[in-house]
């Protein structure tokens, strides 16, 4: 599901949970295991997908549906809060790692997958990458910290566009908006990330860490507000109804808008 | 066949290793090419790059043929 290598100061974290690295309790536990063993002497973390389908399709909706369906109604709130608190803990820790973090994105980068990518310091997108917040279709907002993190990087107009329309944008548009640092050909993302890691390794560690700490802060108040709004919306009937439709759908193309 | 349809067929054939000579304007993209939603997303990016347009996903709902997709592209050029 999650695997990593560590060599000469560089971690390469590979997500490989079919169909497209959906984030549920298993993925979360894997990310937590990775975070708990990070060598503070490392200088770069590369986050990538090992699946052809894309970077990450977002939250594991089938697992979420099972959890909510199996629990009494009055337990939905506490259950959602527990999951979202754990997710935020992992995302915040990834965000604040004292390494330079590089996300390599190809194909689908939707919802929670987009939010995971947004924890990275630098994003390298292959030309096939598409970014999307489809959450309104489920009657919720992005809940893994995506909007506050996106607000650090791009203007409010693009955020409203993505959030309120649910449309996806390609790598070139994402680069023009300042969200993506480099766009490369299909299959070239990891090579570009390794070249960046080699460069990062030349820098003085104290200066490198200080630079990141200086420019990249956690938007704590907004993250907290997002968490509360997410749980309030997710407790409502719209999410469960949307999840029901999703799991019962026989559409072979569930990731088409 | 319009230029747009011809270019679309060329793009799809290249992306999915199909024979362009066997693809027609009114073909169902999914059935004829046998592609899934992940591959469809890749094709949308190819199309946007090639024609220098942005295609909002919600406008592509229900679009199944090269001809229908070509109309959407031409409306944004």
CA distance B53 to chain A (A): 10
Nearest to A86 by CA among A15, A35, A12, A138: A35
**Active site annotation includes B3:** no
For position A253, what pLDDT does the model report?
A: 52
The domain in which residue B69 lies consists of 3-74
pLDDT in tens, A223-235: 999 999 999 999 9
Contact A128 B41 (CB under 8 A): yes
Q: Does B54 touch chain A (CB under 8 A)?
A: yes
CA distance readout (Å), A14 to A58, A100, B8: 16, 16, 33
Q: Which residues of chain A have pLDDT under 50?
A: 256-257
Q: What integer is the mean pLDDT of B47-66?
A: 91
Asked if B30 reaches chain A (Cβ–Cβ under 8 Å), the answer is yes
Q: Is residue A197 part of a domain?
A: no
Residue A254 placed within a domain = no
pLDDT of res. A251:
64
Q: Which residue range(s) make up the domain with A44?
A: 2-186+205-248
Q: What CATH number does the domain containing B41 carry?
A: 1.10.1200.10
- The Cβ of residue A26 has, within 10 Å, a number of other Cβ atoms equal to 14
Q: Which residues of B touch A108 (CB under 8 A)?
A: 38, 41
Q: How far is A17 from chain B (nearest CA, A)?
A: 15
Q: Which two tokens stand for residue A146?
A: 């995506």
Query: Using CA atoms, how far apart are residues B74 and B77, in angstroms rounded to an integer?
Result: 5
CATH number where A215 lies: 3.90.226.10
User: Which pLDDT score, from 0 to 100, does residue B39 have?
Assistant: 84
| Per-residue model confidence (pLDDT) at position A254 | 54
Contacts of A175-182 with CB under 8 Å at 24 or more apart are A175/A125, A178/A153, A178/A154, A179/A123, A179/A131, A179/A150, A179/A153, A179/A154, A180/A105, A180/A123, A180/A124, A180/A125, A180/A129, A181/A122, A181/A123, A181/A124, A182/A122, A182/A123, A182/A124, A182/A125
CB within 8 Å: A54 and B49: no
Of A170, A255, A257, the CB nearest to B48: A170
The Cα A25–Cα A32 span in angstroms is: 10
pLDDT per position as a tens digit, B13-50: 999 999 999 899 998 888 888 888 788 888 899 999 99
Domain count, chain B: 1
Contact B38 A165 (CB under 8 A): no
Give the span between the Cα atoms of B70 and B11, in whole angstroms.
Answer: 12
Dihedral sign computed on CA atoms, order B36, B41, B43, B44:
positive
Strand, helix or coil at A183?
A: strand
Q: Do A108 and B40 touch (CB under 8 A)?
A: no
Chain A CA closest to residue B49: A172
Which value does ipTM take for this structure? 0.87
Contacts of A49 in chain B (CB under 8 A): none
Q: Taking the mean position of all CA atoms in its chain, how far away is CA B60?
A: 10
Which three-class secondary structure state does DSSP give residue A169?
strand
CB within 8 Å: A170 and B57: no
């Amino acid at each position: 599901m999650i695997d990593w290598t560590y060599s000469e100061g560089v971690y390469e974290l590979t997500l490989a949970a079919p169909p497209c690295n959906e984030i549920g309790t298993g993925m979360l536990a894997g990310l937590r295991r990775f975070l708990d063993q990070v060598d503070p002497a490392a200088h770069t973390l590369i986050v990538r997908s090992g699946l052809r389908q894309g970077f990450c399709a977002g939250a594991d909706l089938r697992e979420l549906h099972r959890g909510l369906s199996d629990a009494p109604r009055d337990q939905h709130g506490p259950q959602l809060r527990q999951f979202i608190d754990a997710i935020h803990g992992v995302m915040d820790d990834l965000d604040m790692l004292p390494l330079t973090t590089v996300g390599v994105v190809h194909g689908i980068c939707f919802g929670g997958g987009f939010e995971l990518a947004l924890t990275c310091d630098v994003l390298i997108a292959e030309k096939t990458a598409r970014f999307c917040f489809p959450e309104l279709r489920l009657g919720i907002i992005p809940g893994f910290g995506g909007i506050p993190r996106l607000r650090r990087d791009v203007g409010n107009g693009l955020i409203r566009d993505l959030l309120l329309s649910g449309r996806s944008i390609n790598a070139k548009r994402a680069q023009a908006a300042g969200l993506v640092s480099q766009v490369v050909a299909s299959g070239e993302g990891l090579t570009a990330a390794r070249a960046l890691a080699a460069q990062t390794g030349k820098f003085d560690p104290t200066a490198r860490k200080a630079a990141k700490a200086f420019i990249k802060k956690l938007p704590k108040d907004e993250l907290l507000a997002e968490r509360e709004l997410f749980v309030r919306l997710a407790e409502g009937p719209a999410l469960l109804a949307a999840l029901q439709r999703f799991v019962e759908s026989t559409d072979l193309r569930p990731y088409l808008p | 066949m319009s230029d747009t349809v011809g270019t679309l067929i060329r793009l799809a054939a290249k992306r999915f290793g199909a024979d362009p000579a066997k693809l027609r304007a009114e073909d169902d993209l999914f059935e004829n090419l046998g592609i899934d939603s992940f591959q469809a997303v890749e094709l949308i990016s190819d199309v946007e790059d090639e024609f220098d347009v942005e295609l909002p996903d919600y406008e592509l709902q229900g679009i199944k043929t090269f001809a229908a997709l070509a109309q959407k592209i031409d409306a944004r050029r």
